[in-house]
């Protein structure tokens, strides 16, 4: 196995790629991929840099997907070392993006280098889909690359997203799906008036309360083998003028469904509208779908990665669909088998983000072994 995953991870962490900036991270990857015979396509949409790279022209296509952008650092004075100066202490690598997800990007590259060196005439194709718009709005990144690939009927067979998935130690969790995210901006209308003359007004807060209570206790579905039941939660609620003697004219709620494959977007919308209508509310509602749920069966890709993790770490990973959304939700549109696997996620987006040194080369080994399981047979 290659021994420079740590060095490459440090090189990437040193780039100030605050979303949506790439800060030439992709150029660093490209310089190594070109030496391996990859066809390089740079896809820029808006202010976002994207990379589609592919080695080979036949199926199956195994794609590694990830992002070079990172979240803001937070207060610099709270960091124990400069966040864009990769620093090793206590046998851990510190820096913004260490866990999410520049170590995974480095491991992608070194694993591919080792694999191509050993299997230069490998079966199928290896690809990378890299964006700088995962931590931001995610509208000019992976979703646009997927649309481009779909338009030219360039589909994937397997995709590994390098998100940090592990909980306690490297190898304990593979994500084989994610819940969908459906948000709503709801305005319930009343009639503003003086609080001393309530008969001349209609209080939208009072009108909304019974409906909110029913929505909060509704069981939307029972989940399934891989997903917990769908949840509905209010994230923001606002009403009133700031005065204590004015009944407000409207109340505004922001809410979100995290939903499984046991429900559909339309079924959730229909049931929520039905509840609001049954309570006789006058309202406006705008919907926003951030991503549909996706689920990969325990088939070739999940089995290949499970075997690789066990060989490299001695751990049998669990398959999980927990957590928030990822770019896997977009990739699933052109790929039937999508899994996520990367380092431990305890420190992601936190001050002093870090990853254990001992796990860095091990991560590269897992990606390498997964490729061997899927593509090692010669052409």
C-alpha to C-alpha distance for 104 and 362, rounded to whole angstroms: 11
C-alpha to C-alpha distance for 376 and 378, rounded to whole angstroms: 6
Characterize the bridge pairing of strands 294-295 and 92-94.
unpaired
CB atoms within 10 A of CB 189: 15
DSSP state letter for 102: I
Six-digit token pair at 239? Answer: 């009403």
Q: How many CA atoms, within 13 angstroms, populate the side-chain half-sphere of residue 34? A: 10
Catalytic residue among 100, 134, 135, 140: 134
- Whether 366 and 110 have beta carbons less than 8 Å apart is answered as no
To the query of whether residue 277 is one of the catalytic residues in this protein, the response is: no
To the query of whether residue 359 is one of the catalytic residues in this protein, the response is: no
C-alpha to C-alpha distance for 146 and 153, rounded to whole angstroms: 10
Catalytic residue among 22, 23, 49, 69: 69
**Backbone phi, then psi, for 103, in 5-degree steps?**
-65, -40
Q: At what angle do helices 103-118 and 5-13 cross, to 10 degrees?
A: 140
Which residues participate in catalysis according to the annotation? 69, 134
């Amino acid at each position: 196995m290659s021994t420079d995953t740590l060095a490459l991870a440090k090189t990437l962490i040193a780039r100030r790629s605050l979303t949506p900036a790439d800060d030439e991270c992709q150029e660093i990857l490209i310089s190594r991929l070109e030496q391996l015979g990859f066809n390089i396509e740079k896809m820029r949409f808006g202010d976002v840099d994207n990379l589609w790279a592919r080695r080979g022209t036949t199926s199956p296509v195994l794609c590694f997907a990830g992002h070079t952008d990172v979240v803001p650092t937070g207060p610099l004075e709270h960091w124990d070392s400069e966040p864009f100066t990769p620093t090793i202490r206590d046998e851990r690598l510190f820096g913004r993006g260490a866990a999410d997800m520049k170590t995974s990007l480095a491991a992608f590259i070194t694993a591919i280098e080792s694999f191509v060196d050993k299997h230069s005439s490998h079966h199928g194709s290896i690809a990378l889909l890299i964006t700088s718009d995962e931590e931001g709005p995610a509208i000019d990144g992976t979703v646009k690359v997927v649309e481009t690939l779909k338009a030219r009927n360039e589909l994937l067979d397997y995709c590994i997203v390098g998100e940090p998935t592990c909980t306690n130690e490297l190898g304990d969790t593979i994500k084989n799906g994610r819940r969908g995210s459906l948000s709503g901006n709801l305005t319930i209308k009343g009639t503003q008036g003086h609080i001393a003359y309530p008969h001349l007004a209609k209080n939208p807060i009072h009108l909304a309360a019974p409906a909110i209570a029913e929505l909060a206790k509704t069981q939307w579905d029972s989940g399934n083998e891989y997903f917990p039941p769908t949840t509905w939660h209010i994230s923001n609620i606002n009403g009133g003028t700031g005065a204590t003697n004015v009944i407000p004219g409207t109340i505004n709620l922001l809410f979100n469904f995290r939903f499984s494959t046991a429900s559909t977007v339309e079924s959730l919308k229909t049931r929520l509208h039905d509840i609001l209508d049954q309570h006789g509310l006058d309202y406006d509602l705008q919907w926003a779908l951030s991503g549909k749920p996706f689920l990969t069966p325990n088939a070739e890709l999940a089995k290949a990665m499970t075997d690789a993790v066990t060989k490299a770490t001695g751990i049998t990973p669990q398959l999980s669909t927990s957590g928030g959304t990822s770019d896997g939700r977009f990739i699933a549109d052109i790929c039937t088998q999508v899994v996520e696997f990367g380092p431990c996620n305890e420190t992601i987006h936190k001050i002093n983000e870090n990853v254990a040194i001992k796990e860095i080369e091990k991560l590269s080994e897992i990606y390498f072994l997964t490729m061997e399981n899927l593509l090692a047979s010669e052409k």
